[in-house]
Chain A
Amino acid sequence: DTAVSQTPKYLVTQMGNDKSIKCEQNLGHDTMYWYKQDSKKFLKIMFSYNNKELIINETVPNRFSPKSPDKAHLNLHINSLELGDSAVYFCASSQDFPDTQYFGPGTRLTVL
């Protein structure tokens, strides 16, 4: 009965590859997010979707493409992975403002 789940939890890949991270929430929330946490633990939003529509795109390289097939899912696809993409990626969801954002367990991406 996990509220926000992400797969995989760990991802190790070579530079130049394409990879996807999946996120699902069973809370019935309308809004979902992707955050990136770098090696210094700094957390920054990447994208926000409300009811499958893109609301926020925070100057993320276009190698990153979010996809929301329905409001319970928000996947993140990354093309041509670079060393600097190594980080922990968190998915989160919330109902309408100002509800709390609930975070998934994170996906640690390591690019070699």
Chain B
Amino acid sequence: AQTVTQSQPEMSVQEAETVTLSCTYDTSESNYYLFWYKQPPSRQMILVIRQEAYKQQNATENRFSVNFQKAAKSFSLKISDSQLGDTAMYFCSTRIQGAQKLVFGQGTRLTINP
């Protein structure tokens, strides 16, 4: 079975700082995908970034990047130059090939302070 663990329930940083959110997962599959979703106070779930497990290169989307360590089963999210609008719950999730579901971590509540 797949499991996803986010060990940081809450984090808080000042605007413009860099912050890293941790995620570890457990799977016996060789082909899977990893995602970070953001849930702002509006409640909408928004995809932040996606990583294919077979790709060595870490995914990047503007200020958001991941550090994917396949052997360690670690998938952390780095937010550079953080902005007030980054304040949200962040969920790490994984999906194995052929499976029609995402498995989510417990979430990290990130607050960006002015």
Contacts and interface: CB of A to CB of B under 8 A. Distances in A.
Interface in A56-109: 56, 58, 88, 90, 92, 97-98, 100-103, 105-106, 108
Contact of B50 (A100, A105, A106): A100
A92 B104 CA distance: 14
Given A98-B95, A100-B50, A41 B100 contact: no
Given A98-B52, A103-B45, A31 B91 contact: no
Interface of A: 31, 33, 35, 40-45, 48, 50, 55-56, 58, 88, 90, 92, 97-98, 100-103, 105-106, 108
Interface of B: 33, 35, 37, 39, 42-47, 50, 52, 89, 91, 93, 95, 97-104, 106-107
A66 B28 CA distance: 30
A108 B103 CA distance: 21
Contacts, number: 57
A54 B101 CA distance: 13
A33 B101 contact: yes
A55 B103 CA distance: 16
Shortest 4 CB-CB contacts between residues of A and residues of B: A103-B45, A45-B101, A48-B100, A43-B104
A97 to B, nearest CB: 7
Given A42-B107, A98-B52, A100-B50, A55 B100 contact: yes
A63 to B, nearest CB: 21
Given A33-B101, A40-B106, 13 more contacts: A31-B100, A33-B100, A35-B102, A41-B39, A43-B93, A43-B107, A58-B101, A90-B45, A97-B95, A97-B99, A100-B35, A103-B37, A105-B42
Contacts of A40: 106
A40 B107 CA distance: 9
Contacts of B101: 33, 45, 48, 56, 58
